[in-house]
Amino acid sequence: MKFEEFVKAAFVKMIYEVINADGKVHPAELEILNRLKKVIGFDDAFIERTKQLDYDNAIVTLYNIPYEQKKALAEILDEVAISDGSVHKKEMDLIIETFINIGIGEETD
């Protein structure tokens, strides 16, 4: 799936937030991040720029993307959270908050 640059930035921001939610960066999370670089199409410099992106701006961007892209983000965030073998409560809380804030669960298909 192709993403516009501003959507890609919001995705990477949220991935980075989940990786850092529990205060520990696990090697398996970095492996997933490296794989996602190829899948989504970004590099280390892009990650550094997205760290500066405001969380609320990322949420607004993600709220306005099509449902299929939201679904892709949900799958990615879940994969990142479980990559280290367990889902920390802070990771789960962040993911649930993100899903609520971007409107996942509101759709009626």
CATH architecture entry for 5-102: Orthogonal Bundle (1.10)
Domain ranges of the chain: 5-102
Kindly compute the dihedral angle of the four CA atoms of residues 66, 72, 74, 75, in this order, to the nearest 10 degrees: 160
| Model confidence pLDDT, tens digit, residues 62-106 | 999 999 999 999 999 999 999 989 899 999 999 999 999 999 976
Q: Which of 20, 18, 11, 19 is nearest to 72 (CA)?
A: 11
pTM: predicted TM-score of the whole model, two decimal places: 0.89
